[in-house]
Amino acid sequence: MKKRIELEDTGMTFETAYDLEAMSRLARSWLEQIGEDPAREGLADTPGRVARAWAFLTRGYQQSLEEVINGAVFEAEGSEMVVVKGIEFYSMCEHHLLPFFGQVHIGYIPDGKILGLSKFARLVDMYARRLQLQERLATQIAGALMQVLEPRGVGVVVEGAHLCMMMRGVEKQHSTTVTSAMRGVFKEDLKTREEFLALLRSQP
Ligand SMILES: Nc1nc2c(ncn2[C@@H]2O[C@H](COP(=O)(O)OP(=O)(O)OP(=O)(O)O)[C@@H](O)[C@H]2O)c(=O)[nH]1
Ligand SMILES: [Zn+2]
């Protein structure tokens, strides 16, 4: 059963079905394993905070496409490209459970159906707030839009910086990873893809 919890540091509330007590116990045991004393004053409330933080960071598991779109699909004439770019995301890599973050750019050519603009950001968040691979983030967003809008095509470009490559491992501070998923005319028609990529380069 879902219950509403508040993140005390932000005042933000959200619903979760996680067993926060069980997650706190794991966080406590984690602290012990790294050689810390979970009973010391500064760490006393940490397991609870970690549990709430992880419930927030992975809340996308508790959302469905239907819930996120919430019926905001509208009928529309025309088949001009729509581009929503610079949607920021924060995600956790599934290999190291470390953050990666950046921006998602989305383009599509409608075929009778358009999507409420805010829903692009909600869609990105739903998939980003799960353990992810950057490639999969792009393909899941593209797949969801193909399913919901049945458009002529969709293009998704994700630019991300991975802390697992910055603060450990190869320790490269300036590399960004760009992944993309092209569907329909964005895949089949070079001109469409070029138009999309040119729009991504243009300044607002
Ligand atoms: N393709 C892809 N790889 C990722 C992503 N996030 C992390 N990785 C990579 O996953 C790989 C895991 O490689 P392993 O050799 O099993 O793990 P590791 O020893 O921690 O690797 P290093 O990071 O090279 O130290 C690394 O190359 C990471 O850079 C992602 O979103 N997409
Ligand atoms: Zn990683």
> CATH number of the domain that 193 lies in?
3.30.1130.10
pTM: 0.91
Could you tell me which of 126, 119, 151, 145 has the C-alpha nearest to residue 58?
126
Q: What is the CATH number of the domain that holds 46?
A: 1.10.286.10
Please indicate whether residue 133, judged by its CB atom, sits closer than 6 Å to ligand 1: yes
Over the stretch 95-150, which tens digit does the pLDDT of each residue have? 999 999 999 999 999 999 999 999 999 999 999 999 999 999 999 999 999 999 99
Residues 91 and 17 in one domain: no
Question: Looking at the structure, do residues 81 and 124 belong to the same domain, yes or no?
Answer: yes
Average pLDDT for residues 155-166, to the nearest whole number?
A: 97
Q: Residue 195: exposed, middle, or buried by beta-carbon count in 10 A (0-12, 13-18, 19+)? A: middle
Q: Is 164 annotated as a binding residue?
A: yes
The closest of 40, 161, 186 to 109, measured between CA atoms, is 186
SS3 87: strand
Ligand 1 atom nearest 93 alpha carbon: 6
This model of the complex carries an ipTM of 0.83
Q: Clarify whether residues 11 and 84 are in a common domain.
A: no
Q: Whose CA is nearest to atom 25 of ligand 1?
A: 169
Range of the domain at 180: 73-201
Q: How confident is the model at residue 10 (pLDDT cuts 50, 70, 90)?
A: low
Task: Return phi, psi of residue 49, to 5°.
Answer: -65, -45
